[in-house]
Chains A and B, each alone.
Chain A
Amino acid sequence: MLTFGFWEPVIILAAINVILICGLYIIALSGAYSMATAAFAGVGGYISAVLTANLDWPFVPALAAAGLGGAVLGCIVAIVTLRMKDFVLKITTLAVGEALSIAAFNIKYIGGANGFSGIPLYTTMTAVLLVAAASIFIAWRVDKSGLGLGARAIRDDLVAAASTGVSLRAVRVVTFGIGSALISIGGALSAHYVLIISPSQLGFLYSLNYIVFLLAGGVQTLWGPVLTTILLSGIPELLRFANEYRLIAYGLIIVAVVMWRPNGLITRSRKPV
């Protein structure tokens, strides 16, 4: 067992965020910047929580079920948003996330407004770090594969990509499926660590955090978003002494990054993607 004392929760939460950002990175490869990351994670968390706490499933199958549920949800969103233009697509994912949050708010079986509490503690440092490493590997493989290339082609120019035989439907459905599965598994890990999940965590302001991580790191490389996710997950902990000013500092960081590094922290040397 690895132990890091005070730093353990910080490292675990940062690693969970890395899992989520790998999922979002895969989804965003084709230009579909999903604004429902926290909602997909929350769905995974709720699935795993119900299976383990109410139906007495063991941890690993529950985690797999969460991933499967996330993948199905992701594929549905991909199909619904397939023909939408850029801006409408982003807003639709936002609306889907918000609708899921409100749905969780109104379902009594999963705790309604009070949230789902009494989730068993299963998540360990080792498990989280293993899944995070696997997620980075998966995102890296997808990035380098033909699928990743097709997705980037779609992001750059849909018509040109289609004329060379890239199928928008296949790319969107597969990337949404893989990405959402990772996000939901990350959400399930988080639920088994924090031990409570509430509907407000599915909301749009939480999802925007991941868009900030992604764009601050830059969409051109996988390492950029992973790096900014680790940094931005840790900074709020370092700023704990200045509690009231923490969110103001967060806002200032967003504005500063957007103004001065519009393509993200880490960019490729030639031609912007």
Chain B
Amino acid sequence: MDTFLQQVMNGVVIGSTYAVVAVGFSLVFTVLRVVNFAHPDIFMLGMFAGLWSALHVSDNLIFVLVAGAVGAGLSGVVLERVVIRPLQGRDMLITLLATLGVSIILQNGMAIVAGPDPVPYPAIIPQTFIPLGPVSLTVRQLVNFVACAVLLMAASYYVRGTKYGRATRAVAELPEVAAAFGVDVSLISLVTVVLASMMAGVAGVSVGLLYGSAWAFVGLLYGLKALIILLVAGNRYFEGVVLVAIVLGVIEALITGYVSSGMRDVVTFLLLIGVLCFRPNGIFGSYKT
């Protein structure tokens, strides 16, 4: 029972990072109608931005997290202006291919700069255990979970509670009508990509700290997961994406703990195929394209 609770706990921590990446991914998908395969690589860029600022500037935790956000946010600006904006309105497969090309360039470019193998991350946070009844949590896991929870709450507040958030939801619904009511669609698209990238950047730094390493190809692990979470949940509800992400993290942790890590991805894809067959718009509904 203790093992079970411990695995659930680990799953929730991992699931929360999936949630941050997947929410950014589905935000861009919903507002811009772009399957942004470069999103997980922007997560990777944030991870390395944090790594370099920790090594060369300061290893203050907040500073490193902010550095990750800034690095990822700037790459988001470039991505949106150079690749996504010129391709707006084209078939979804076209933008998917373009962002995939960007993803290949970023991964292999970073592999040349930082080497193709994982790079050790400075141990800013101590690896101490906090006992919590029958289970225990490391400080790193706690920091990772808190960072992700704060990001998700901030994103929820932005989308639901601010003027820009309302404009964002309007663009997601009907871009032409939103433009007719005076919404600057181009600006909203840029802000959406940048915010999603910044969230991913912070999550990247916190995942780097959690595992103690940064890797040029880490995006490969997160890209398909983000896509699967989006497809299983559907993009109507923000909370649906978060819920599916956390459930996926827990399922993965339980299968890894009780069966084998090889079976982990089998279950994930069976889940996806099942959902696409019986709920072709996701469990919680709607991917309008």
Scan residues 43-73 of chain B and give those whose CB is less than 8 A from a CB of chain A.
Answer: none
Q: Is the CB of B93 within 8 A of A90?
A: yes
Chain B 102-132, CB-CB to A under 8 Å as 1, else 0, gives 1111011101100000000000000000000
Total A-B contacts with CB atoms under 8 angstroms apart: 99
Q: Is the CB of B287 within 8 A of A259?
A: no
Q: Which residues of B contact A96 (CB under 8 A)?
A: 273
Binding stretch for chain B, among A5-13, A79-87, A224-232? A79-87
Scan residues 262-289 of chain B and give those whose CB is less than 8 A from a CB of chain A.
Answer: 262-263, 265-266, 269-270, 272-273, 276-277, 280-281, 287, 289
Binding stretch for chain A, among B83-91, B196-204, B248-256? B83-91
B161 at the interface (CB under 8 A from A): no
How far is it, in angstroms, between the C-alpha of A96 and the C-alpha of B277 when the chains are bound?
12
Q: How far is the CB of A216 from chain B (nearest CB, A)?
A: 9
User: Residue on B with the closest CB to A259?
Assistant: B86
Q: Is the interface of B mostly helix, strand, loop or mixed?
A: helix
Chain A 205-246, CB-CB to B under 8 Å as 1, else 0, gives 000100110010000000000000000000000000000110
Q: Is the CB of B102 within 8 A of A255?
A: yes
With known contacts A87-B92, A90-B93, A251–B101 Cβ distance under 8 A: yes
Q: Is the CB of B104 within 8 A of A254?
A: yes
Q: Which residues of B contact A84 (CB under 8 A)?
A: 276, 280
How far is it, in angstroms, between the C-alpha of A262 and the C-alpha of B83 when the chains are bound?
13
A33 at the interface (CB under 8 A from B): yes
Number of B residues contacting the other chain (C-beta, 8 Å)? 38
Q: Is the CB of A215 within 8 A of B97?
A: yes
How far is it, in angstroms, between the C-alpha of A202 and the C-alpha of B276 when the chains are bound?
21
Q: Is the CB of B273 within 8 A of A106?
A: no
B243 at the interface (CB under 8 A from A): no
- What interface size band does chain A fall in? 35 or more
Q: Is the CB of B224 within 8 A of A99?
A: no
Q: Is the CB of B269 within 8 A of A258?
A: no
Q: Is the CB of A99 within 8 A of B101?
A: no
A103 at the interface (CB under 8 A from B): yes
* 29 residue pairs bridging A and B, Cβ less than 8 Å apart: A87-B92, A88-B281, A91-B227, A95-B272, A98-B224, A99-B266, A99-B270, A102-B265, A102-B269, A105-B262, A106-B263, A244-B108, A247-B108, A248-B112, A250-B101, A250-B104, A251-B101, A251-B103, A251-B105, A251-B108, A252-B101, A252-B105, A253-B101, A254-B101, A255-B101, A259-B86, A259-B87, A259-B98, A262-B90
